[in-house]
Chain A
């Protein structure tokens, strides 16, 4: 059995351990939502997932598509642009240790881009990143 939570922990752990990403977005890497007060952070969330039931009743692989985005307060996009680039360097077609999930990695890859600006209470927030597919198979 593949433990999906451990796949997420592996992804978040890899991003959180990177010094360059931590320097750009020092408030941390969070699943779904960041704590109040955070102004420069990374969000990881599950966008969609699937198995292939034709193959061994979906036990052959699981594919998880995660949103991984840099979020920062301010009108300038420099910080999120650098962070987005770094996230891509860390995840796209790179290794990911999913041993704790009872799995091994088949592929981690960039799927499509996410970029938008949010305005709220006279503040401007930049959101930039991508969806990434993490495909794993039982170890």
Chain B
């Protein structure tokens, strides 16, 4: 009887690898959206109310990007938001949007990295 070694499952493995980006994308979008909404709420709470424009200008935008990517962007769109953040000729800067949004983005990236890790992959640099 001839010796024979059969290695199976390559097609299944290949199919899983091909589908992996779509799967991670589908599962990571709600995670990122949750972090974006939480960050939006935090920024809104941190802005003062004078005319209400600062708070009203904090928005979450979601759109499809190239390939399987999804882009979720938090913006502050009041016409004087940059003056509030970086200061005027006489008023001191009041950093609010950038510190909060950068922290929220880092937390979202770590959460997606955890998702990818849960599927058996190694993720490095998620805390950078």
Contact = CB atoms under 8 A, between A and B. Distances in A.
B93 A118 contact: no
B99 interface: yes
Interface residues of B, number: 16
Contacts of A62: none
Q: Is the contact region of chain A dominated by helix, strand, or loop, or is it mixed?
A: strand
Interface string A78-94: 00000000000000000
Interface in A20-79: 32-34, 36, 43, 45-50, 52, 54, 65, 67, 69, 71, 73
A14 B91 CA distance: 24
Interface in B76-115: 82-83, 86-93, 95, 98-99, 102-103
Contacts of B102: 48
A116 B98 CA distance: 16
Contacts of A34: 89
Contacts of B83: 116, 118
Nearest to B93: A45
Interface of B: 82-83, 86-93, 95, 98-99, 102-103, 127
A34 B92 CA distance: 9
A33 B99 contact: no
Interface of A: 32-34, 36, 43, 45-50, 52, 54, 65, 67, 69, 71, 73, 114, 116, 118, 120, 125, 127, 131
A29 B19 CA distance: 55
Contact of B86 (A36, A52, A67): A67
Contacts of A69: 86
B127 A54 contact: yes
B82 A120 contact: no
B92 A45 contact: yes
